[in-house]
A and B are shown apart, each in its own frame.
Chain A
Amino acid sequence: MNIIALVKQTPDTAQLSASMDGLRLSAEGGPRIVNPWDEYTLETAIQAREEHGGKVTALCLGPPEAADALKTALAMGVDEAILVSDPAMADSDSLTSARILVAAIRKIGRFDLIVGGRAAIDGNTAATAVQVAALLGVPLISYVADIGSLDPEHRTISAVRLLEKARETVTSRLPALITVVKEINEPRYPSLIGIRKAARASIPVWGCNDLELDASTVGAGASGVDWKTELPTTREANVEMIDGGPEDAARTLVDRLMEEKVI
């Protein structure tokens, strides 16, 4: 089976700091990690390969630093990793990102299964992988909590979707794209042998030229969505203790509230 795992690098939201530019990856921003949902993506892809043979290619669109996420993917056990990166691609919205990823997937060539996470923890649109499926014209099974059966021979997949109040079992032909939720498995840690291999691996970087994309069709300029991040403003609050017995205190409190036009 040829499996493609879509992997994004995101900020570590557990360690967001004020020095970070909202949720964006900035050069001096906080630590970057594999999008937590994509750890399940990778585990799903690697398990499928372990069971059915073949090859897993991890594909990541992001800045050059995102190669780190791919190193983790390699250390976990994917066979190949490709970084799609080009300054022109910066700040692409989800549809533009999907177009870029589709160009990369076409360049990779044959695939039987594409796996993605239910969303990326930064943008949290849960839209990119869906649009990749639509642009490729392959069936999508989203929110997969369990792969009931994967049958490369008969070219079918049957998966259980985790919905808000139900579980739905969907069977589809292959190739297909699935997005997974964390109920699906327990992601492995990179093994030491995997780390050794990953540290030596060189990761090909594909830019607009490699994908035959016109730079004007990617990036912020080509995107319909303009992201603005606003962090909650800090509120100035004062605490005023009112002394005295209950009756006096209540009277003072009412006076103060009226003074402040609260009541």
Chain B
Amino acid sequence: MDFELSEEHQMVERMVYDFARNEILPSIREHDRNGTFPHELLPKMAAQGFMGICLPAKYDGAGMDFISLGLLSEGLEWADSSVRETIAVHLGLHALPIFQWGTEEQKERFLPPLATGENIACFGLTEPGAGSDVAAMTSRARKEGDTYVVSGEKMWITLSDVADRFLVFAKTSQEEGTRGITAFLLERGWEGLTTGTIKGKMGVRASNTGWINMDGVPVPETHRLGEEGEGFKIAMSCLDNARYTVAAGAVGLMKYCLEASVSYARQRRTFGQAIGDHQLVKQLIAQMKQRVDLGELAVRKVGWLKNQGRRNTRETSMAKWYCTESAFATASDAVQVHGAYGYSDEYDVERHLRNSKSAVIYEGTSQIHQLMQADYVFGNRVDRPLRCEMPAYDPDYWQN
């Protein structure tokens, strides 16, 4: 067992944190206040290779492993959840699924512009009436010759108004439950496809979240991802990637909150001493550190499982559930340590608190993760092999 980050990982970590400190932090408060998307960051992130960090070099990716993906997510969310969300969605929920489920032709065609950031991509599963209950979706795809005609509405979609590529799910048959769902790759500009932005979000205000309306969008068969009826499995495997970035990001958020709280607790004085010398404040700090450490362990283990090519749905769900709940608690404690100042946007911890609430909702609510965990324990849920598994990370393949 080796808990040490490799030299390469340490360099990635340092670079990502430097990037977050110098490129994201200086402007993110203003974007959050105004609810604007930091478009100016995308070319910089792309230039660093972030948009395809763990895609093989063959598809113009940076060829790094899944631990690096975790470190990237952590460092970005240390600055702001919104920026990490872009990676979660673009890479975790769109590009990696194409890598896992796509035909070679689809990979060669779709992945390079995603890896270089020339295309920005999103993932549309949720609908106004179907969130946790995916099977309740009403989007439909009707086959006409070698084209599908897709209609329906997707809601709460990250990057909906920024993306030019859309992975959406619709029912191709009226079969019961989730079996009739199929995945499609849509492109901006296609007839019948419109998008919009949701206003008034509590947090992740520097992220773009919105809706996708599909009114009889013709989708060529070449843009179907996987087989007909395979959509639900694909969607769930997408979540295995993105939940990992969410969990890793939550660790970054916690690290920021801990650092900010420690520095504030050293300098703020009450009753003749630094507040960090009061036992009850120490307790808050100790609990934050506990969550950081345990969260990091959970995330690193999932990264390792992914590198090994081992199924990690349960462990990823556990890491996501634990880390996002811990991040919410930690951000709340950080605001507490900062007192009234923490309650204002003069300090970053209140933004982290608002942001952290989103992650206990998306990518499976905490309740859904608890149900999953219990089902695994009782043996009611067993992961069966998939037709297309995410391969183990092999540097020779990834980097050549």
8 A Cβ contacts from B154-190 to A: none
Known: A192-B48, A193-B49. A199 touches B6 (CB 8 A): yes
Q: Is A198's beta carbon under 8 Å from chain B? A: yes
What CA separation (Å) do A196 and B399 show in the bound complex?
9
Q: Is A75's beta carbon under 8 Å from chain B? A: yes
Question: For B19, what are the chain A residues with a Cβ–Cβ distance below 8 Å?
Answer: 189
Question: For B8, what are the chain A residues with a Cβ–Cβ distance below 8 Å?
Answer: 195-196, 198-199
Question: For B57, what are the chain A residues with a Cβ–Cβ distance below 8 Å?
Answer: 193
Q: Please tell me if the beta carbons of B6 and A192 are within 8 angstroms of each other in the complex.
A: no
Q: Is B346's beta carbon under 8 Å from chain A? A: no
8 A Cβ contacts from A12-69 to B: none
Question: For A71, what are the chain B residues with a Cβ–Cβ distance below 8 Å?
Answer: 7, 11
How many whole Å from B53's CB to the nearest CB in chain A?
A: 6
What CA separation (Å) do A72 and B12 show in the bound complex?
11
Question: For B63, what are the chain A residues with a Cβ–Cβ distance below 8 Å?
Answer: 192-193, 196
8 A Cβ contacts from A184-210 to B: 189-193, 195-196, 198-199
Q: Is B18's beta carbon under 8 Å from chain A? A: yes
Question: For B48, what are the chain A residues with a Cβ–Cβ distance below 8 Å?
Answer: 189, 191-192
Which residue of chain A has the shortest Cβ distance to B12 in the bound complex?
A195
Q: Please tell me if the beta carbons of A192 and B18 are within 8 angstroms of each other in the complex.
A: no
Q: Point out the residue from B11, B50, B53 that lies within 8 Å of A75, measured CB to CB.
A: B11
Which residue of chain A has the shortest Cβ distance to B62 in the bound complex?
A192
Report, as a range, how many residues of chain B touch the other chain.
10 to 19
Q: Is B141's beta carbon under 8 Å from chain A? A: no
Question: For B399, what are the chain A residues with a Cβ–Cβ distance below 8 Å?
Answer: 196
Interface size on A, residues (CB 8 A): 12
Q: Please tell me if the beta carbons of A195 and B11 are within 8 angstroms of each other in the complex.
A: yes
| Residue from B12, B19, B63 whose CB has the most chain A CB atoms within 10 Å | B12
Q: Is B68's beta carbon under 8 Å from chain A? A: yes
Which residue of chain A has the shortest Cβ distance to B11 in the bound complex?
A195
- Mask, B268-281, CB within 8 Å of A = 1, is 00000000000000
Question: For B68, what are the chain A residues with a Cβ–Cβ distance below 8 Å?
Answer: 192
Q: Please tell me if the beta carbons of A192 and B7 are within 8 angstroms of each other in the complex.
A: no
Q: Please tell me if the beta carbons of B7 and A199 are within 8 angstroms of each other in the complex.
A: yes
Q: Is B96's beta carbon under 8 Å from chain A? A: no
What CA separation (Å) do A199 and B65 show in the bound complex?
14
How many whole Å from A76's CB to the nearest CB in chain B?
A: 10
Question: For A196, what are the chain B residues with a Cβ–Cβ distance below 8 Å?
Answer: 8, 62-64, 399
How many whole Å from A193's CB to the nearest CB in chain B?
A: 6
Which residue of chain A has the shortest Cβ distance to B57 in the bound complex?
A193
8 A Cβ contacts from B37-54 to A: 47-50, 53
What CA separation (Å) do A71 and B12 show in the bound complex?
12
How many whole Å from A195's CB to the nearest CB in chain B?
A: 5
Q: Please tell me if the beta carbons of B11 and A72 are within 8 angstroms of each other in the complex.
A: yes
- Mask, B2-16, CB within 8 Å of A = 1, is 000011100110010
Question: For A191, what are the chain B residues with a Cβ–Cβ distance below 8 Å?
Answer: 47-49, 62
Question: For A189, what are the chain B residues with a Cβ–Cβ distance below 8 Å?
Answer: 15, 18-19, 48
| Residue from B8, B11, B15, B64 whose CB has the most chain A CB atoms within 10 Å | B11
| Residue from B6, B47, B49, B53 whose CB has the most chain A CB atoms within 10 Å | B49
What CA separation (Å) do A190 and B62 show in the bound complex?
12
What CA separation (Å) do A190 and B68 show in the bound complex?
14
8 A Cβ contacts from B1-36 to A: 6-8, 11-12, 15, 18-19
Q: Please tell me if the beta carbons of A75 and B15 are within 8 angstroms of each other in the complex.
A: yes
What CA separation (Å) do A199 and B47 show in the bound complex?
20
Question: For A195, what are the chain B residues with a Cβ–Cβ distance below 8 Å?
Answer: 8, 11-12, 15
How many whole Å from B263's CB to the nearest CB in chain A?
A: 12
| Residue from A72, A192, A193 whose CB has the most chain B CB atoms within 10 Å | A192
Question: For B47, what are the chain A residues with a Cβ–Cβ distance below 8 Å?
Answer: 191
Question: For A75, what are the chain B residues with a Cβ–Cβ distance below 8 Å?
Answer: 11, 15
What CA separation (Å) do A71 and B63 show in the bound complex?
19
Question: For A190, what are the chain B residues with a Cβ–Cβ distance below 8 Å?
Answer: 11, 15
Q: Please tell me if the beta carbons of A193 and B62 are within 8 angstroms of each other in the complex.
A: yes
Which residue of chain A has the shortest Cβ distance to B63 in the bound complex?
A196
Q: Please tell me if the beta carbons of A198 and B18 are within 8 angstroms of each other in the complex.
A: no
| Residue from B19, B48, B64 whose CB has the most chain A CB atoms within 10 Å | B48
8 A Cβ contacts from B310-365 to A: none
Which residue of chain B has the shortest Cβ distance to A188 in the bound complex?
B47
Question: For B50, what are the chain A residues with a Cβ–Cβ distance below 8 Å?
Answer: 192
Which residue of chain B has the shortest Cβ distance to A76 in the bound complex?
B15
| Residue from A75, A196, A198, A199 whose CB has the most chain B CB atoms within 10 Å | A196
Question: For A192, what are the chain B residues with a Cβ–Cβ distance below 8 Å?
Answer: 12, 15, 48-50, 53, 62-64, 68
What CA separation (Å) do A123 and B62 show in the bound complex?
38
What CA separation (Å) do A199 and B68 show in the bound complex?
13
- Mask, B210-221, CB within 8 Å of A = 1, is 000000000000
Q: Please tell me if the beta carbons of A198 and B11 are within 8 angstroms of each other in the complex.
A: yes
Question: For A193, what are the chain B residues with a Cβ–Cβ distance below 8 Å?
Answer: 49, 57, 62-63
| Inter-chain pairs besides A189-B18, A190-B11, A192-B12, 20 sampled, C-beta below 8 Å | A71-B11, A75-B11, A75-B15, A189-B48, A191-B47, A192-B15, A192-B49, A192-B62, A192-B63, A193-B57, A193-B62, A193-B63, A195-B12, A196-B63, A198-B8, A198-B11, A199-B6, A199-B7, A199-B8, A199-B11
**Interfacial residues, chain A to chain B (CB-CB below 8 A):** 71-72, 75, 189-193, 195-196, 198-199
Can you show 25 pairs from A to B with CB atoms below 8 A apart? A72-B11, A75-B11, A75-B15, A189-B19, A189-B48, A190-B15, A191-B48, A192-B12, A192-B50, A192-B62, A192-B63, A192-B64, A192-B68, A193-B62, A193-B63, A195-B12, A195-B15, A196-B62, A196-B63, A196-B64, A196-B399, A198-B8, A198-B11, A199-B8, A199-B11
Instruction: Pick the 9 closest A-B CB pairs, nearest first.
Output: A199-B8, A192-B49, A192-B62, A195-B11, A199-B7, A190-B15, A189-B15, A191-B49, A192-B64
